[in-house]
Amino acid sequence: MTDDRARVVVTGLGVVSPAGLRHGALWSAAAERRSCIRPITRFDATTFGCRRAGEFADFAAEEFVDRRVIKQTDRGTHLGMAACSIAVKDAAIELAAIDRRELGMYFGNVFGGMEFAEPELFAQSFLGPSRVSAYQSIAWFYAATQGQWSIAHDVRGIGKTLVGDSAGGLQALLLGMKAIRQGHATWMLAGGFEAPLAPYVFAIHESSGRLAVGDAAYAPFDRRAAGTILAEAACVLLLETLESALRRGVRIYAELAGGAMNIDAGPGAHDDTGAGLATCIEEALEDAEARSDDVAHVLPDATGIRELDARDVRAMAHVFRNCGDLPPVGTPKAVIGHALAAAGPLDAAWAAMMLHAGTHVDGCAPLAPIADPRLRFARGGARLEGNAILCFGSGWQGLNAAILLRRHGD
């Protein structure tokens, strides 16, 4: 890595997922292949083709959020604020002891506060404006989570909330890394949050034909693949300069070594060839000053949509064309569902855990893998060969993002 930019490391993991609170719950569920996908209870889903999701039924927002704020905000904000608090604690940062002008926040989100907003929009349409909550004006907003956590903890640094579909969370990590490299912050809370278990969100996804219907499994890279199953989750990584982490003497999970993002299609179009995604991955490797044979594991988008899984394989085959076999592939999505803008950060947290532990986790080895000799799947407990893990994701209309995490010290 060049000497003129700060090295960025991951020192805190804030994970709130259908597997439970904190990263250990996600690690255990993935390692055990224990499915956290279950019938939806947050709304009556009987009229929908897809009636299952990754749901965190036991989440207690009051452990992390003031009760007054809970009433004024959406569940996505509650999940996101919890993830921020967990990440800060995991990184052993005392907020009162730091210059909070040096702490920034970059988040990705797709649907904002739709669970809060949907009944308010119904009230506006059918009951009259006087029946609409005054908090609708802030609760639905994509940046509400960033704003509420900043207010609660007097955070004064750089901040943005991105709407980039399923690539948005990885974009937030990439831009958070760049903010530190460029000297705009010493610490960044970066990641994504999503609470998509609302009728309107499901109606949107069902109209796209992307959701798995009935009892179909969420099975990426599997011949049985029948679509995506959504999940509610939040994942925030605490990023900081290597210099700061060493000075504080804290645990370093991994280095966020580089990343890239691009767009490869016009409005309403999708590049199913994987060419644009492959370019994005190659640019991420270049930014990290890494070679393709440094990559020991890949966490792809893994939507469970056959044509998109095939696109992922084509992109990987191009990037690793000189490496013989593809690196082993894995994903926690098969266990918890796809959390949209939080999915990429969850992958990144999982990658950081694997790099820190030095082992693969078997999170998605298909029962009936697609007939592609190039694909290999991670074997749980196997030693992690190589020093880097690649995460990538894509969104509607050609959005791509990729990041590379490297084992600290290599």
**Domains of the chain: residue spans and CATH:** 9-248 (3.40.47.10), 258-406 (3.40.47.10)
Q: Rounded mean pLDDT of 212-225?
A: 85
* Residue 3's pLDDT band (cuts 50, 70, 90): very low
Q: Is the dihedral angle over the CA atoms 126, 129, 130, 135 positive or is it negative?
A: positive
Q: What is the pLDDT of residues 109-140, one digit of tens each?
A: 998 877 766 776 776 677 777 776 766 778 78
Q: Rounded mean pLDDT of 259-277?
A: 79
* pLDDT higher than 70, residue 206: yes
Q: What is the pLDDT of residues 15-69, one digit of tens each?
A: 999 999 999 899 888 888 888 999 999 999 999 989 999 999 899 999 999 999 8
Q: What is the pLDDT of residues 354-364, one digit of tens each?
A: 999 888 876 66
Kindly state the tokens that stand for 22: 């904190």
Res 365: pLDDT:
62
Q: Rounded mean pLDDT of 227-256?
A: 96
Res 356: pLDDT:
93
Res 2: pLDDT:
39
User: CA angle, 24 as apex, 64 and 28 as ends, to 5°?
Assistant: 135
Res 174: pLDDT:
97
Res 271: pLDDT:
67
* Residue 301's pLDDT band (cuts 50, 70, 90): very high
Largest CA distance in the chain: 65
Cβ-Cβ contacts under 8 Å for 404 (sequence gap 6 or more): 256, 257, 258, 259, 284, 285, 287, 288, 290, 295, 388, 389, 390, 391
Q: What is the pLDDT of residues 54-77, one digit of tens each?
A: 999 899 999 999 999 898 888 899
Res 268: pLDDT:
55
* Residue 368's pLDDT band (cuts 50, 70, 90): low
Q: What is the pLDDT of residues 305-333, one digit of tens each?
A: 988 999 999 999 999 988 878 899 988 89
Give the whole-number percent of the chain exceeding pLDDT 90.
59
Considering the entire predicted model, what is its pTM? 0.93
Residue with the bigger pLDDT between 383 and 192: it is: 192
Question: DSSP character for 7?
Answer: -
Residue with the bigger pLDDT between 374 and 212: it is: 212
Kindly state the tokens that stand for 407: 């084992």
Q: What is the pLDDT of residues 143-194, one digit of tens each?
A: 888 999 999 999 999 999 999 889 999 999 999 999 999 999 999 999 999 9
Res 87: pLDDT:
98
Res 290: pLDDT:
94
The rounded distance, in Å, linking the Cα atoms of 80 and 51 is 24
* pLDDT higher than 70, residue 296: yes
The rounded distance, in Å, linking the Cα atoms of 253 and 121 is 43
Res 208: pLDDT:
84
How far CA 70 is from CA of 41, 61, 112, 279, 312, in Å, comes to 20, 7, 15, 42, 39
Res 267: pLDDT:
57
Whole-number mean pLDDT of the chain? 89
Residue with tokens 């004024």: 72
